[in-house]
Amino acid sequence: MTTPGFVLIASVGVLYSCGFYLLLQRSLMRVVFGILMLGHAANVSLLLTDEAITLPPLLSGGSGEMSDPLPHAMALTAIVITFGVTTFLLALAYRVWLGDENDEVPDDVEDRRISKLTEPEEPS
């Protein structure tokens, strides 16, 4: 295993774990950052599929060896998609904040119903 390969693998691991950790937070901003990190993790793992990742893509100064261009193409497509959707998510998070002045993810509707059932009734 070459050094860049190891560094990439390690960073994929870190990105996935941080991404999922942030995804499970209550604050929507952190959730957005979690999605961002997960997107990066997926893109880097796409690049990792090529063993010759250290070689230049397409042209390589006449030696004839080059890295596989397909993962690059797929990662590019995926970057465009995650970029666009992240922008949309940021706009949504902003709208939520404008509406409620907090960006916490609310409890599940069913959870709220159940907790309402267990609340002691107001003395009438």
Partner 1 sequence: MNALLAVPLVVPLLGAAITLLMRRTPRSQQVTATISLAAVVVDAALLLWHTWDGAVVVSQAGGWAAPLGITLVADPMAALLVLVSSVVLLVVLLYAIGQDIGGLSRAMPQVFHPIYLVLTAGVCLSFIAGDLFNLFVGFEIMLTASYALITQAPTRARVRASMIYTVVSLTSSILFLTGIALVYALTGTVNMADIAGKLGAAPPELRMVLALMFFVVFGIKAAIVPMHFWLPDSYPVALTRISAIFAALLTKVAVYAIIRTQTLLFVRDDVTSVLLWVAIATMIVGILGALVQDDVNRVMAFALVSHIGFMIFGLGLNTVAGLAGVIIYLVHHIVVQATLFLVNGLMRQYVGHTSLRAIRGLTTVSPALAVFFFLPALSLAGLPPMSGFIAKTALFQAAVTAEGGWLVGLGLAVGVLTSLLTLIAIFRIWTRAYWGTPLPDMVEARERLRSGPNTSGLRIMTAMTGVMVATGVAVAVAAGPLAQVSFTAAVDLLDGGAYVEAVLGRGSG
Question: Closer CB to partner 1, residue 7 or residue 83?
Answer: 83
Residues 62 and 15: their CA atoms lie apart, in Å, by: 36
Residues 5 and 54: their CA atoms lie apart, in Å, by: 8
78 binds partner 1 (CB under 8 A): yes
The amino acid present at 48, given as its one-letter code, is L
9 binds partner 1 (CB under 8 A): no
Q: Nearest-CA neighbor of 47 among 21, 17, 69, 22?
A: 69
Question: Closer CB to partner 1, residue 99 or residue 123?
Answer: 99
- Contacting range for partner 1; rule: CB under 8 A; set: 2-10, 58-66, 76-84: 76-84
Tokens, residue 109:
């509707």
Question: Closer CB to partner 1, residue 58 or residue 61?
Answer: 58
45 binds partner 1 (CB under 8 A): yes
- Classify residue 15 by burial, with Cβ atoms within 10 Å: 0-12, 13-18, 19+: buried
Position among 7, 14, 76, 92 found at the interface with partner 1 (CB under 8 A): 92
Position among 2, 54, 88, 115 found at the interface with partner 1 (CB under 8 A): 88
Position among 17, 81, 102, 115 found at the interface with partner 1 (CB under 8 A): 81
Question: Closer CB to partner 1, residue 60 or residue 88?
Answer: 88
> Which parts of the chain fold into alpha helices (H)?
3-23, 28-48, 69-100, 109-118
